[in-house]
Amino acid sequence: MKETKYGIIYAPTVNVGDDIQTLAGINFLKSKGIHKYEFVNRESLNDYDGDEINLVMNGWFMYDFDKFPPSKKIKPIWISFHVWFGELITKHKEYFKTQPPIGCRDQATVELFKQHGIDAYFTGCLTLAFDKHTEKGDKKYLVDINTECNYIPDFDMDMKQFGDFKIVEHDTFKKGYSDIEKRMQLANEFIDNYKKASLVVTSRLHCALPCRAFGTDCIFMHKGYESDPRFRGLEGVLNGATEYHKNTSPSEGELEKIQKFFKSYEI
């Protein structure tokens, strides 16, 4: 009997947040008793020519629409899927209509699919399925708040209040850097810091969501909190705002609902 193969998406971008989502895909498979997997590049899905593979399709999709849909050797596991450019759906609408219902990371992606008559539902982000970490240290992290990242708006605030925080930026790689072992090593270092932190203040979605899963106190703030489609449906978990605030935990029951779904999901 031929062995069933599984795969994990990775993306050779500048942003370690994409690698944190790759780690979340690995964690998800392991939670289902699957410990063998291959990495598949998000930006070259239709180039895949290995053995038939069941691929966890979580994360942000994508830059090169011509590299979609996936190769016929890829059987997608549609969970925690986010579409940033609606053109991906309009260009490949007929392909999506041949697929099972699409499990989406956010409500905005669900609505994009439904506008085109494609069945979709909200799953939340797989980074919320990391295990809780009860042992906390005394380190505090300020993650991409008024850093040099040009696509995250700055805040008008007194930065002196964060004098005892370590400043962290998620844009750490050169674009196209594809040493997957080193990418995973660095991403693991990031989440190890977050799971042990006493407090994290961030504008990064894939810092805040893992912190929620780890049970780490985290303040999420983003100028686009009320308008950015990536946050739609996740507001109860993020419990964020457009300016600095004091909410360090999710709204009651919101995280547990999403985690319950991931635990019950059958591959």
- Per-residue pLDDT tens digits for 179-224: 999 999 999 999 999 999 999 999 999 999 999 999 999 999 999 9
Res 196: pLDDT: 98
Res 73: pLDDT: 98
Secondary structure (3-state) at 145: coil
Tell me the residue type at 220: F
Range with the poorest average pLDDT among 1-10, 97-106, 184-193: 1-10
φ, ψ of residue 208 to 5 degrees: the values are -65, -45
State the burial class of residue 56 (Cβ atoms within 10 Å of its Cβ: 0-12, 13-18, 19+): buried
CA dist list (Å): 258 to 127, 143, 202, 205, 212 = 11, 24, 21, 16, 12
Please say if the pLDDT value at position 113 is more than 80.
yes
Please say if the pLDDT value at position 63 is more than 70.
yes
Beta bridge partners of 143: 168, 202
DSSP 257: H
Report the C-alpha gap between 14 and 170 in whole angstroms: 8
Please say if the pLDDT value at position 1 is more than 70.
no
Res 2: pLDDT: 78
Residue identified by tokens 């290995």 is 50
State the burial class of residue 110 (Cβ atoms within 10 Å of its Cβ: 0-12, 13-18, 19+): buried
Average pLDDT over all residues of the chain: 97
Region 85-94 average pLDDT: 97
Region 239-248 average pLDDT: 98
* Per-residue pLDDT tens digits for 33-55: 999 999 999 999 999 999 999 99
The answer to whether the CB of 160 falls within 8 A of the CB of 185 is no
Alpha helices in the chain (DSSP H): 16-31, 87-91, 93-97, 107-115, 180-196, 205-214, 235-238, 254-264
Residue identified by tokens 């894939």 is 206
Report the C-alpha gap between 190 and 178 in whole angstroms: 18
The answer to whether the CB of 89 falls within 8 A of the CB of 69 is no
* Per-residue pLDDT tens digits for 65-81: 999 999 999 999 999 99
User: Given CA atoms 189, 221, 27, 50 in this order, what sign does their dihedral have?
Assistant: negative
Q: Of all residues in the chain, what percent carry a pLDDT higher than 70?
A: 100
The answer to whether the CB of 82 falls within 8 A of the CB of 109 is yes
Res 98: pLDDT: 98
- Categorize the per-residue pLDDT at 141 as very low, low, confident or very high, splitting at 50, 70 and 90: very high
